[in-house]
Amino acid sequence: MQIEHRLGDYKEIACDLLAYPVFEGETRDASLDLLNRITRGAVNAVLSSGEFKPEFCKTCNIFKPAGLKARHLLLVGAGKKSQFNPARLRQVAGAAVRSAKPSAVKTIGFLFRGDHPAGLASRLAAEGALYANYESDIYKTRNKEEREIETFLLLFGRKVAQAEVREGIRRGTIVGDATNFARTLANEPSNILTPSQFAARALTVASQTGLIARVMEREEMEKLGMNTLLAVSRGSEEPPKLIILQTHKDQGKKRGPLYAFVGKGVTFDSGGISIKPSDKMEEMKADMSGGAAVLGAMVALAQLRPKHPVIGLIPAVENLPSGRATKPGDVVKSYLGKTVEIVNTDAEGRLILADALAYARTLGATHIIDIATLTMACTIALGHANAGMMGTDQKMIDRLRSNCRITGEGLWQLPLDEEYRKAIRSEIADIKNVGDRWGGAVTAGKFLEEFVEDTPWVHLDIAGVDLEYDGWTFACKGATGFGVRTLVQLLE
Neighbours of 143 (CB within 10 A): 7
Residue type, 342: I
Judged by DSSP in three states, 275 sits in coil
Integer Cα distance of 357 and 466 in angstroms: 21
Q: Among 455, 231, 457, which residue's Cα sits nearest to residue 352?
A: 231
Q: Among 445, 222, 217, which residue's Cα sits nearest to residue 332?
A: 222
Question: From residue 469 to residue 488, what is the string marking binding to Zn ion with x (rule CB under 5 A)?
Answer: --------------------
Cβ neighbours of residue 462 under 8 Å, at least 6 residues apart? Answer: 289, 290, 293, 371, 372, 373, 374, 387, 482, 483
Cβ neighbours of residue 220 under 8 Å, at least 6 residues apart? Answer: none
Question: From residue 281 to residue 300, what is the string marking binding to Zn ion with x (rule CB under 5 A)?
Answer: ------x-------------
Judged by beta carbon, residue 253 or residue 280, the one nearer ligand BES is 280
Integer Cα distance of 460 and 465 in angstroms: 11
Q: Residue 434 touches which of Zn ion, ligand BES, none (CB < 5 to 8 A by kind)?
A: ligand BES
Judged by beta carbon, residue 290 or residue 309, the one nearer ligand BES is 290
Asked if 301 and 488 count as a contact pair (C-beta separation under 8 A), the reply is yes
Known catalytic membership, residue 64 = no
Whole-Å CA distances, 458 to 92, 239, 331, 408, 422:
31, 29, 27, 19, 21
Integer Cα distance of 474 and 492 in angstroms: 25
Judged by beta carbon, residue 95 or residue 414, the one nearer ligand BES is 414
Judged by beta carbon, residue 30 or residue 385, the one nearer ligand BES is 385
Asked if 317 and 232 count as a contact pair (C-beta separation under 8 A), the reply is yes
- Check binding of 349 to Zn ion (CB under 5 A): yes
CB of 263 to ligand BES, least distance (A): 13
CB of 270 to Zn ion, least distance (A): 8
Residue nearest to ligand BES (CB): 376
Pairing of strands 411-413, 330-333: unpaired
CB of 287 to Zn ion, least distance (A): 4
Segment contacting Zn ion (CB under 5 A): 44-52, 196-204, 260-268, 451-459? 260-268
Instruction: Name residue 21's beta-bridge partners.
Output: 76
Known catalytic membership, residue 401 = no
CB of 345 to Zn ion, least distance (A): 8
Q: Residue 463 touches which of Zn ion, ligand BES, none (CB < 5 to 8 A by kind)?
A: ligand BES
Whole-Å CA distances, 385 to 89, 237, 410, 413:
18, 36, 6, 13
Judged by beta carbon, residue 315 or residue 349, the one nearer ligand BES is 349
> What residue ranges bind ligand BES (CB under 6 A)?
269, 287, 344, 346-349, 373, 375-377, 434, 440, 463
Of the residues 170, 276, 421, 477, only one is catalytic, namely: 276
Judged by beta carbon, residue 463 or residue 475, the one nearer ligand BES is 463
Q: Residue 375 touches which of ligand BES, Zn ion, none (CB < 5 to 8 A by kind)?
A: ligand BES
CB of 269 to ligand BES, least distance (A): 5
Q: Among 362, 255, 249, 252, which residue's Cα sits nearest to residue 305?
A: 249
Angle at 393 between CA 389 and CA 395, to 5 degrees: 95
Question: From residue 307 to residue 346, what is the string marking binding to Zn ion with x (rule CB under 5 A)?
Answer: ---------------------------------------x
Of the residues 171, 241, 350, 432, only one is catalytic, namely: 350
Q: Residue 440 touches which of ligand BES, Zn ion, none (CB < 5 to 8 A by kind)?
A: ligand BES
Interface residue with Zn ion among 269, 355, 409, 449 (CB under 5 A) is: 269
Which residues are near Zn ion by CB under 5 A? 266, 269, 287, 346, 348-349
Report the catalytic residues.
276, 350
